[in-house]
Structures are given as structure tokens and as C-alpha cells.
Amino acid sequence: MTLPPPPKPDQPRFVPIADHAVLVEFGETISDAAHAAVLALDQAIAAAPPVGLRETVPAYVNLLVDFDPCQTDHAEIIAALRRQIGPATARRQSRQQHKVAVCYDPPFAPDLAQVAQHTGLSPEAVIAAHLSGRYHVVMYGFAPGYAYLAGLPPALRLDRKPTPVPNVPAGSVIIAGAQALVTTLTMPTGWWIIGRSATPILTGDPDRPFLFDVGDSVGFCRIGAGDMPGAAQNG
Amino acid sequence: MAEARLSVAFAGPHVTVQDQGRPGQMRFGVPCSGPMDRASAAIAQAALGTPATAPLIEVSMGGLTLRCDAGPISLAIAGAGFIVEAREKLGSWVVLTLHAGDRLVIRPGPWGRWTYVAFAGDLQVPHWLNSAATHAISGFGGGRISTGQSLTLTAPRVVTHMPRPIPCPVWARPRGRAPVVIGPQDRHFTDQALADFVSGPFRMTNAFDRMGLRLAGPRLALKGALSIPSEPILRGSVQVSGDGVATVLMADHQTTGGYPKIATVLDCDTDALSQLRPQDPFHFVPVSPDTAVARARMAHRARAAFLARLRHQTGASPTPG
């Protein structure tokens, strides 16, 4: 059996899934071009949803398109999507920029010293490097509100810990590989915990329950322990 | 205004509040949640004449015992073939009324894994993103039901004075065949793994929760050590971990993940699949995407017609409780 050629950003592969979805693949390995194509198609669909569309799920190199099988089918959806795929740059819209406030002080940054040791930087240099990153939201996953932020500076890139640490508090700012993430639940993680966010990602606002959209830009700014929520009560 | 109150004398693990869930949020890492067996939950609501969107309780094989502290209130039980005791021994698939002092025991019976208790009244529970469905890992939504807890229902009604059976349609029973469309990452598997996947058989195991059902069966070998970029996951995705073990993702699935998916169970067949018990054998049956859509439409028509008949029979004349 010969395999079909790998998909490309301008020549995606459409894979039917079950009775209700199509996976549009723009590449097999992570690349900026493939992700830009994912975001462009996601936006095009939002602007002009095909009949029967239920939702879309963007990831690194592919976009899941979920539909109501009582209203349409795989072939109709694929035909509609083919018409919406165009030059990625033509539709690039201004995306939102967000600032996330982070406290890097004890007790909120339990792994800062270890990250400094592994990277050969001072703790202050680790913080400066983290603050200098220009991040963007690649996708959500793992748990509600877990937004994967690409753009961690190369100096901070470490493999995950060999064993996950349990009960890492919600709001932890964690890093691994080329990514950063602000947690929303108390969960185990094998990523390195370098701070705590004062900016909730689950906003509690019914009109905008999640702070970020996929594709948005994110920057971090530093605050002291005294500026953390609840600091006054905790003394 | 009248209120019914039920206290939870005992609740096993994995007993939660559910409703139709919160579709449309997967892009934010939020699965739909909702019942493991959505079809049975809808039947319980229809049998009472309550809105399809109303919160209800999903009962696991751990069982549930309620005491009625203030009533009366009618409720409907449908899903797995469990044993129900309320003054007398009954089967599930029943509508009955609890009065103050009554005790309701629901425990595993001859078949199935999940059963649903719908109430002729408004169950007062927290909502998250417009849904009372419990997302088990976070606890968001209506929440887990635990021993000692009290449940309040406003506007309680009585729809029957004698226990009344609910017909159990054949499609609500677990089956030995799970139709799938192969893919989307089947290209990462060896030809032998693809053949073994189809020949099976697979069995359910004790390793399950609302996120997924781990299977026992043939080891499904990957072509090589792989690191694929995280991709979207759906309810029904059959993902295979590095050791070749298959897991079917269910109501509270992660929305993205890096394990390859060899196949995806048709959404309309995941309800019955969830009712298979540990050790129950079954086969994956590959179908084409066109057949899958035809099957989904047929299932939808059958369910809609059954629910409409049930609602019609239930009538629209409940008496105030």
C-alpha cells in the first residue's frame, strides 16, 4: 500500500471521522505555516459557517470540524471547506493581546531555583527571560481553560520532569519545551512551576468565560507577593 | 412554595448530576460532558414529561440510596437494568412516587453500567457555562453526589400513584458490536494492528471513569516510536497508548491529545457501548463514513419517534404535588 503524500498548508488532507466530523490536516509536524492555515480556516468558518456546523477545534497542525449528521454529511462539509481555504495571509485579522500578571516570589515559584540551575541562569535571569517572551495561544487541551502558549524563549526550554507532581494549585504558571501555560485547576503536572498568576483564565464572565481565544497574543508582567489576591488577609 | 427534599443516605463513586451538557466549547478545552448514556437519560425525562434539558442524576454501579424527607415527588429511573427498591422491589425502567419517609435504593441488577434518575421537579444544583452537567475532573457543574448530601427540588409534582413501567427499547441495551469509522490516525499502525483491531475481540475492564473506558484485547502496535502533535479528540475516539492498549474516550474526554486514534466509534453508538460491563466482550465493526451518517440519521429518527410517543403517553396533566 502506498501512503498518500503528506498534507501541506496549501494542500490539506480531509479525513472523515465517525458519523459527525472531518479532520482537516495541514501538516504532520509542527510548523508556523501549518498553524497559520489552521487559524485562517477556523476564522473563515466562523465568518461563514457551513450548513450543519456544530463547532470547530483548532490544534497545532489540524482543525476538527464537527457537524450534525442529520443536516449534512462528510462530503458536503469537505466541499464547503474546500471553498473556504484560501491564501492564509489574506484573512489575517487583528487578534487580541492580553497581559497576565505573575508573581515569581515564594511561595508561588517552587521550581524557579531548579529551572535556574538546569538552564545555567540566575533566578532573576529566568524571570527576565520569561517576561521577554512573546507568546500566542496555539490551542486549548488537557482540561478546561488550559491554553498552550507557544513562544517560550529558547534559553528556558527544558524537558518535563520525569514524574508529575500532584496537587499543583490553580493559577500556576508552568513551562516545558517551547511552551508556557497558566493552570486553571488544581491538578498534577510534570511541567516546571515558575510563578503564580493573579489573572484568572476562567474569567467567571458569562459573556467571555475564557480569557483567550486561540491565536491571541499573550504577554506576562511581574507583580509582587503583596499584589496577589488575598495577600492582605494572609498577611 | 412546595419543596421536596431528598437526603443521600449512600452514594457510590461516579454518581453525578448531569444534563444535556455544554456543547460547542471544545475549542476551550471543555468537553460536552452530559450522560454517559444520553439515550436513557432522555427516556427518563420523557417518561416524566419534564424538559429534556432538566438536570438529573447519573448512577454508577456503586449505587445510590435516597431518603425522602419532604414530598411527595415523582421520579423516573431508566438506563442500566438495575434493581430499585421503594416500598417494594422493582426493576429500573420505572416511574414512581416518593412520599416523606420513603427510602429509594438503586443497586446494580442484571445488566448495564449507568442508570438515570429524573425528577418531576426542579433539582437545585450549581450550573457552569449554562449547564448542570458535572465535569468530573474539575467538579464544575452540578457536582458529584456524595453520602450525607441533601437535594432540594422546587415545584415537585406527582405524575403517578402506582409504580408504572417504562418500555425499554432494544437500542438502549448494550450490544456486542461497536460500529467505527477507521482513523483519523490509522496510518501510524502496522497492518497487523489494523487487522487485530477488526478481529478483536475486546473486553471492557475495571479501568473506567467518565473520561474513558480502557479495553483489554489485542495489543495494537504502532509503526514506530512516535511523537505526533496533539490533535483534537472526540467522544468515541479510540486512542492507543504507547504500550498498545486501546481506550475509548467518553463524556468527559480531554479535547486534545498526542496518542494516535486508530478509529472512532459512531457517536450514536457510544451510549449503548457505555453500558457494557467489565469483562463483556465486543467487536469493533468498521463502516464507511456514508454508512455512518445513514446510521446516525436512522438512530436519530428511532429515538425521536420513541421519545415523542413516550411524551404523548405520559400526557400533559400532572397533578400538583
Strand partners, B16: B58, B144
Q: Please choose, from the candidates A138, A49, A47, A4, the residue with its C-alpha nearest in 3D space to the C-alpha of residue A14.
A: A4
Q: Which domains does chain A have, with CATH numbers?
A: 13-90 (3.30.1360.40), 97-234 (2.40.100.10)
Beta strand A217-223 pairing with A97-103: parallel
Name the residue in chain A with its Cα closest to that of B293: A19
Radius of gyration of chain A, Cα coordinates, nearest whole angstrom:
20
Beta strand A53-58 pairing with A192-197: unpaired
In chain A, what residues touch B138 (CB-CB under 8 Å)? 143-144, 185
Cell of A20: 459527525
Q: Which residues contact B92 (CB under 8 A, 6 or more apart)?
A: B77, B78, B79, B80, B81, B82, B83, B84, B106, B109, B115
Please state whether A204 falls in left (phi above 0), alpha (psi between -120 and 50) or beta: left
B120 and B158 Cβ atoms separated by less than 8 Å: yes
In chain B, what residues touch A65 (CB-CB under 8 Å)? none
Cβ–Cβ below 8 Å for B27 and A140: yes
Residue B63 CA to residue B92 CA, distance in Å, equals 12
Nearest-5° angle of CA B245, CA B249, CA B251?
Answer: 155
| pLDDT score, position B320 | 42
* ipTM score above 0.85: yes
HEC profile for B58-92?
Answer: EECCCCEEEEEEECCEEEEEEEEEEEEEECEEEEC
| pLDDT score, position A233 | 53
Residue B260 CA to residue B247 CA, distance in Å, equals 11
| pLDDT score, position B313 | 87
User: Residue A41 — pLDDT band, cuts 50, 70, 90?
Assistant: very high
| pLDDT score, position B321 | 40
| pLDDT score, position A90 | 47
Cβ–Cβ below 8 Å for B181 and A18: yes
What is the three-class DSSP state of A62? strand
Mean pLDDT of all residues in A31-57: 95
Cβ–Cβ below 8 Å for A17 and B230: no
Name the residue in chain A with its Cα closest to that of B286: A18
Q: Which of B130, B230, B292 lies closest to A60 in CB terms?
A: B230
Residue with cell 514524574: A163
The C-alpha of A189 sits at a distance from chain B's nearest C-alpha, in angstroms, of 14
A144 and A202 Cβ atoms separated by less than 8 Å: yes
pLDDT, tens digit, 9 for 90 and up, residues A119-133: 999 999 999 999 999
Helix or strand holding residue B196 (H, E): helix B191-199
Name the residue in chain B with its Cα closest to that of A139: B27
Q: Which of B28, B191, B236 lies closest to A18 in CB terms?
A: B236
Mean pLDDT of all residues in A87-108: 81
In chain A, what residues touch B289 (CB-CB under 8 Å)? 16, 19, 73-74
The C-alpha of A125 sits at a distance from chain B's nearest C-alpha, in angstroms, of 30
- CA torsion, ordered B309, B310, B311, B316, to nearest 10 deg: 110
Would you tell me how many other CB atoms lie within 10 Å of the CB of residue B101?
Answer: 10
Residue B115 CA to residue B134 CA, distance in Å, equals 15
Residue B122 CA to residue A79 CA, distance in Å, equals 44
Q: Which of B135, B191, B264 lies closest to A18 in CB terms?
A: B264
Nearest-5° angle of CA A8, CA A11, CA A14?
Answer: 100
B105 and B81 Cβ atoms separated by less than 8 Å: no
Mutation target to probe the A interface, by most A beta carbons within 10 A, among B20, B230, B250, B273 is B230
pLDDT, tens digit, 9 for 90 and up, residues A200-234: 999 999 899 999 999 999 999 999 999 998 775 54
User: Residue A94 — pLDDT band, cuts 50, 70, 90?
Assistant: low
| pLDDT score, position B258 | 86
The C-alpha of A227 sits at a distance from chain B's nearest C-alpha, in angstroms, of 27
| pLDDT score, position A87 | 61
B145 and B17 Cβ atoms separated by less than 8 Å: yes
Strand partners, B268: none
**pLDDT surpassing 60 at residue A235:** no
In chain A, what residues touch B239 (CB-CB under 8 Å)? none
Give, for all 321 residues of chain B, the pLDDT tens digit: 589 999 999 999 999 999 999 999 999 999 999 999 999 999 999 999 999 999 999 999 999 999 999 989 999 999 999 999 999 999 999 999 999 999 999 999 999 999 999 999 999 999 999 999 999 999 999 999 999 999 999 999 999 999 999 999 999 999 999 999 999 999 999 999 999 999 999 999 999 999 999 999 999 999 876 678 899 999 999 999 989 999 999 999 999 998 999 999 999 999 999 999 999 999 999 999 999 999 999 999 999 999 999 999 886 444 444
Cβ–Cβ below 8 Å for B292 and A23: no
What is the three-class DSSP state of A97? strand
**pLDDT surpassing 80 at residue A93:** no
Number of H-type helices and E-type strands within chain A: 5, 13
Beta strand B281-286 pairing with B177-182: parallel
